[in-house]
Structure 1
Amino acid sequence: MALILITGASDGLGRALAVALAEQGHHLLLHGRNAARLSEVAAQTGATPIRADLSSLAEVRRLADAVPEGLDVLVNNAGVGFGAPGAGRELSADGYELRLAVNYLAPYLLTKLLLPRMARETPARIVNVASVGQRPFDLADPMLERGYDGVEAYRRSKLALIAHTFDLAEELAGTLITANCLHPASLMPTTMVRQAGWGEIDTLEKGLRATLRLVVDRDLTEVTGRYFDGEREARALDQAYDPEFRKQLRELTESLIGR
């Protein structure tokens, strides 16, 4: 059975994924920000809970330090949604735009820190939960200081995460570690969707099926560098495939996280 870390596992899709993987007998490390909810799902699944606030890069590093060697699967699922209608621009603990910090910088840094701890002798996987809602990322205004909008901020952060996934796949070519990303389903009944005041479209079960497939399906053992819309391979926004954009985004990111 695999050792799997799921971020954002105390609610919504992450919690459903944790329950499903526990039923399959996998060993789970579950991250969450809310201590009470995290303890509840850890007790339900027999998993090891690790509390951290991913809006802080210091806490991302602390989370990474708590993960043992031999990690088989990393699921970067935690995220911040659109926010309440009309909500203003928010900043992370490090002074960065909040959605960029949690949805992109945190999984970027966590993945980089955990790569040395991932299994090398057997196939391992990185699964990044992205979104079909993508918008071009403005390298000249990464913190969205001009004309802020929560939906725009969310979609830009997910575009950045997809681009990073493609970078990872290239970096890890020739190893047994794969990196893929997906849009699990549209507007599932989760806390972030309810907070945004948007209506629901898809069921949580639909998103769970798509995500679970990337985590455990043996037919995908050697598949890497792909974006999936649900269970179907799809094409992300063109910018995510642009090598020059990805190079500039990578340089910006490394400067922001202080590596």
Structure 2
Amino acid sequence: MPATSQKTAVVTGASSGIGAETARQLAAAGYRVFLAARRVDRIEALAAETGGTPVATDVTDADSVAALAAAVGPSLDVLVNNAGGAFGVSPVAEGDVEDWRAMYDVNVLGTLAVTRALLPALIRSGEASGGSAIVNVGSIAGRIAYEGGGGYNAAKFGLKALTNALRLEIVEQPVRVMEIAPGMVRTDEFSLVRMGGDQERADAVYAGVPEPLVAADIADAIVWMVTRPAHVNIDELVIKPRVQAAPHKVHRV
């Protein structure tokens, strides 16, 4: 595919997990992918594997986001706002304000910053091609609160509100605004980070769960969403393993 006609995508949080797998699958689908993450060594390795373009990016830093927008240039077909994370499982009565602030910063304000910076490029591409797309990676935690999840719930509920408001505000533009809300996804880092590096507690999250989702399942769904016809908007896609009925209801064996 000639470089001039190749579609482009940005994936934030591309250094691991869902972000890295989404970048792989978008590249396999023919996109030139800008790999945005803080860990440069990882995105450089992924770029070597996929032919993508690594861009060192901290979504909570304005200058870093501006540099990402400059690297992408004047047009962009797909933005996957995947950078996020959960920190801690304390109940609200013992909530760590810094953990809550960090979750809001990366999940909500980081998504805001990247979307605001890249929206002109998405609109320009949409006008030329008939449609571009934004996919925000939310969570079922943004739909149902659960004990020990207050801070993460608040952040992902906030992301859902941001997504819905943006869809209303730019409905006249040729840009689809979508959210994918995964349930239990086993990755190398999500629960480990949430548990402050305690591997035993992280492993316990998935203990006895016969088949949790994996990053490839979510990436596959994201690629499906962005490759629907331009007039089709998947407002939200909630995706869970069969054995998970709700955040707090999981069948274990």
Query: For 2:14, which of 9, 30, 47 is the aligned residue?
Result: 9
| 1:57–1:153 Cα change, 3 Å | farther
Cα separation, 2, equivalents of 1:68 and 1:97:
31
**Amino acid paired to 1:121:** A
* Structure-1 residue corresponding to 2:58: 53
CA offset digits 1:159-204 (Å, max 9, x no partner): 1111111111112212211101011342322411233322263222
- Pairwise CA distance, 1:64: 2.4
* Structure-2 residue corresponding to 1:31: 36
Gaps of 5+ in 1: 138-148, 232-259
Cα separation, 1, equivalents of 2:117 and 2:225:
22
Query: So what's the TM-score if we normalise by structure 1?
Result: 0.74
* Structure-2 residue corresponding to 1:71: 76
Query: So what's the TM-score if we normalise by structure 2?
Result: 0.76
- Specify the SS of the correspondent of 1:183: strand
Cα separation, 2, equivalents of 1:110 and 1:2:
19
Match status 1:175 vs 2:173 = yes
- Specify the SS of the correspondent of 1:90: helix
* Structure-2 residue corresponding to 1:112: 116
* Structure-1 residue corresponding to 2:159: 161
* Structure-2 residue corresponding to 1:244: none
Question: Please, what is the CA RMSD of the aligned residues?
Answer: 2.6
- Specify the SS of the correspondent of 2:73: coil
In percent, how many aligned pairs have the same letter?
29
CA offset digits 1:1-34 (Å, max 9, x no partner): 3110010111001111111111222111110111
Cα separation, 2, equivalents of 1:225 and 1:203:
21
Q: Which structure 1 residue ranges, 4+ long, deviate > 3 Å from structure 2?
A: 82-89
* Structure-1 residue corresponding to 2:235: 226
Work out the number of aligned pairs and report it. Answer: 214
Query: For 2:225, which of 214, 220, 224 is the aligned residue?
Result: 214
For the pair shown, which has the larger CA radius of gyration, 1 or 2? 2
Whether the 8 Å CA contact 1:169–1:224 is kept in 2: the answer is no
* Structure-1 residue corresponding to 2:213: 202
* Structure-2 residue corresponding to 1:103: 107
* Structure-2 residue corresponding to 1:124: 132
